[in-house]
Structure 1
């Protein structure tokens, strides 16, 4: 508890250095070497809308790994993160984060499918993986589109679970 207070005080003085950086571009294109590209996947074995379309075009291994998790009716639990190395030379990984329970039915579907508790668990695993492997993190606006989540809630989870640990985090939008 004492360390936590010390850390928050120290981290607080560095707040300007580690914030989410918002950029315009293609989140599938790594900004630099040693990067993990994180995104949310559903737990139903459905891959085909949104960000994953361009992701699977550039990195087919990410889709293959995701779909292989559903062989023989083996459905991953929410909170699981599947890390896929897609470029060993450049040290690029994809993080398939299982934090979405179901899929949006149509454009009028306003239901929230992203599970904040599961996303928190996924982001903790993502930050641990990034720290151990000395990676920066980049992502699209996860969970706010097809996941139906509130971006302000998702930002607070990213800030606490990634930026708080002094990890570079870029959110890239088209």
Structure 2
């Protein structure tokens, strides 16, 4: 078993061969317009459109914290819209990220990755606008994905590098 591979680069252009899943953290309010989702929308319209339909129909589907929606954007590439944050701004209940929701979502991603034989690629999910701590997110990724033998690559984009 290997650990997480860290690269400086763009998570919307994942490296390597084979089937890949790009994972990112979404909010539970249906908002899509800041952070990593903008990079996704510049490359593909499908993930945003699917997320908005999913949220709009939430009374009749599984939309909610911990849920994941898989959107195929290219023949060997999927985007996982993982609902891992409550709201969009810090408030009286702390930062928006919900670690238990990330954990459940990563469990679902692990199942899909095993089904597809896919590697998993992501920015430091839950640690940007969601306000999370990488020291709490990284062990979830290790437990849910790396321990199952799934190759995981985390991308740091541009000058801003998150610290552990």
The Cα offsets for residues 4-58 of structure 1, whole Å up to 9 and x where unpaired, read as xxxxxxxxxx4xxx10110000111121331000001001010010100010110
The Cα offsets for residues 77-133 of structure 1, whole Å up to 9 and x where unpaired, read as 111100000012xx100000011110026xxx9931111111111000001100110
TM-score of the superposed pair, with normalisation by structure 1: 0.83
2:119 to 122, 136, 142: 136
- The reply to whether residue 25 of structure 1 matches residue 4 of structure 2 is no
Counting only pairs closer than 5 Å after superposition, residues 10-159 of structure 1 correspond to structure 2 as: 14=1, 18-32=2-16, 33-71=18-56, 74=59, 76-88=63-75, 91-104=76-89, 111-159=94-142
2:74, 2:39 → 1: CA distance? 16
Q: Structure 1 residues 134, 73: closer, same or farther in 2, change over 3 A?
A: closer
1:69, 1:78 → 2: CA distance? 13
Q: Structure 1 residues 45, 29: closer, same or farther in 2, change over 3 A?
A: same
- Partner residue of 1:11? none
Which of the two has higher C-alpha Rg? 1
Q: What is the CA-CA distance between 1:160 and the residue it aligns to?
A: 0.5
Any gaps of 5 or more consecutive residues in structure 1? 1-13
How many equivalent residue pairs? 154
8 Å CA contact retained: 1:27, 1:37 = yes
TM-score of the superposed pair, with normalisation by structure 2: 0.88
Between stretches 71-80 and 95-104, larger displacement belongs to 71-80
